[in-house]
Amino acid sequence: MEGFDVNRLLRESVRKLQPYSSARDEYVSDGSEMIFLDANENPFDNGVNRYPDPYQRSLKSVLSEQKGLTEQQILLGNGSDEVLDLIYRAFCEPNQDNIITLPPTYGMYKVLAGINAVENREVLLTKDFEPNVTEILKVADSNSKLLFICSPNNPTGNAFQKKGIKELLESFNGLVVVDEAYIDFSNDESWVSELKQYPNLIVTQTLSKAYGLAGIRLGICYASDEIIGILNKIKPPYNVNQLTQQRALQRVLHQDLVKQEVKQILDEREELIKALKDLEFVTALYPTDANFILAKVDDANKRYQQLLEKQVVVRNRSTQPLCENTLRFTVGTPEENKKLIAILKELN
Ligand SMILES: *Cc1c(COP(=O)(O)O)cnc(C)c1O
């Protein structure tokens, strides 16, 4: 990856931008007792009367240590969805540039392309749900700024083989975004460890899945400090609120708890797989490296409705390419899974 220049991919307007400088940018507290009269806040302390740290330094300091990166290689956002949107806005010129996505995959890439007026070029996964490297490189042109690789992939569940992703990192001329929302359920190593090797790599993660914090909205982006610097320039100043920063910090400091829950979810997943295999109307189960299972059934609409009537909500993925008659089951608590299995056994 010699000679890679991220500025070649950057939008002109972003390159020229003079970012907003907030009160908390101009004066950074060193912890000493100061009188803060610079941000028009209400001075009476209620725990959240002050603006939050715009760069979330406490949280980043823990994450950087855990991931073996510098704090300058981390951007935090209001969920991955904000992080992904920032990546579009930094690199994709509306009505000119394009991105490449690999359906069946996470729906937000396409929605964000629509919102940002960026063409979405879709290259279907192969029959065994792997990226079609040859075809991807064929549809890419000089306006292809981003390639979204979701691994483990939602909704199929599988982590992609390293070889294909490596080939894409080495041959695709834009930025490769590897979405690792489900990485903590996988035995595969995170691509974070390859950031040094590939200056065109962006890895996104989230606290919404394995970390059990979907409600606080905390998405994470790991990349070169150059790319992170660009995203920092365009992010809303206080995009991660104080309460989220506090709860996220508590949680990332309790890796033991997270690991214990992940292990339990994985054990439960195996039980669920066994039970699903025994059902007559389940015609195929796909390999999963995530906290959900994609199953092919005889009639997805019918089974979906039957489950709804029993107060169980699963995801019908049948409208997705290569996913005809599939349902996606998230692994629940042991009690929930037991109920689900009992209900499934009763369906006819
Ligand atoms: C759930 C999920 C996310 C998480 O998005 P947040 O905005 O962080 O909650 C990201 N990517 C994929 C593929 C997901 O399935």
Sorted by where each begins, the domain ranges of the chain are 6-253, 256-346
- For the segment 178-225, what is each residue's pLDDT rounded down to a tens digit? 999 999 999 999 999 999 999 999 999 999 999 999 999 999 999 999
27 pLDDT more than 90? no
- Is 156 close to ligand 1, i.e. is its CB under 6 Å away? no
Ligand 1 pocket test target in 208, 222, 291, 328 with most atoms within 8 Å of CB? 208
**6-253 and 256-346: same fold?**
no
* Distance (Å) from CA 49 to ligand 1 centroid: 30
- For the segment 288-317, what is each residue's pLDDT rounded down to a tens digit? 999 999 999 999 999 999 999 999 999 999
- Angular region, 311: left φ>0, alpha ψ -120 to 50, beta rest: left
* Distance (Å) from CA 77 to ligand 1 centroid: 12
* Distance (Å) from CA 186 to ligand 1 centroid: 15
Instruction: Return phi, psi of residue 341, to 5°.
Output: -60, -45
- Is 208 close to ligand 1, i.e. is its CB under 6 Å away? yes
pLDDT at 26: 81
Measured by CA distance, the residue closest to atom 3 of ligand 1 is 181
For 212, counting Cβ atoms within 10 Å of its Cβ (0-12 exposed, 13-18 middle, 19+ buried), the class is middle
- For the segment 58-86, what is each residue's pLDDT rounded down to a tens digit? 999 999 999 999 999 999 999 999 999 99
- For the segment 127-140, what is each residue's pLDDT rounded down to a tens digit? 999 999 999 999 99
- Is 150 close to ligand 1, i.e. is its CB under 6 Å away? yes
- Is 181 close to ligand 1, i.e. is its CB under 6 Å away? yes
- For the segment 82-134, what is each residue's pLDDT rounded down to a tens digit? 999 999 999 999 999 999 999 999 999 999 999 999 999 999 999 999 999 99
Measured by CA distance, the residue closest to atom 13 of ligand 1 is 106
Q: How far is CA 90 from CA 154, 188, 205, in A?
A: 25, 30, 19
Atom of ligand 1 nearest to the CA of 207: 8
31 pLDDT more than 80? no
- Is 149 close to ligand 1, i.e. is its CB under 6 Å away? no
- Is 211 close to ligand 1, i.e. is its CB under 6 Å away? no
Confidence of residue 19 (pLDDT cuts 50, 70, 90): confident
9 pLDDT more than 90? yes
* Distance (Å) from CA 219 to ligand 1 centroid: 8
**Using an 8 Å Cβ cutoff, are 209 and 154 in contact?**
no
- Helical spans, DSSP H, in the chain: 12-16, 23-26, 57-67, 79-91, 108-115, 133-139, 162-171, 225-234, 242-252, 255-277, 300-309, 334-346
Ligand 1 pocket test target in 202, 209, 330 with most atoms within 8 Å of CB? 209
Q: Can you tell me the distance from the alpha carbon of 46 to that of 164, in angstroms, rounded to the nearest whole number?
A: 52
- For the segment 229-268, what is each residue's pLDDT rounded down to a tens digit? 999 999 999 999 999 999 999 999 999 999 999 999 999 9
- Is 154 close to ligand 1, i.e. is its CB under 6 Å away? yes
pLDDT at 45: 96
Q: Can you tell me the distance from the alpha carbon of 30 to that of 35, in angstroms, rounded to the nearest whole number?
A: 13
pTM of the model: 0.97
Ligand 1 pocket test target in 84, 108, 218 with most atoms within 8 Å of CB? 108
Tell which CATH classification among 3.40.50.300, 3.40.640.10, 3.40.50.970, 3.30.1300.10 matches the domain 6-253: 3.40.640.10
The pLDDT of 23-33, averaged and rounded, is 80
Tell which CATH classification among 1.10.10.60, 3.90.1150.10, 2.30.30.90, 2.40.50.140 matches the domain 256-346: 3.90.1150.10
* Distance (Å) from CA 104 to ligand 1 centroid: 15
Confidence of residue 1 (pLDDT cuts 50, 70, 90): low
Confidence of residue 33 (pLDDT cuts 50, 70, 90): confident
* Distance (Å) from CA 206 to ligand 1 centroid: 7
pLDDT at 30: 80
Measured by CA distance, the residue closest to atom 14 of ligand 1 is 181
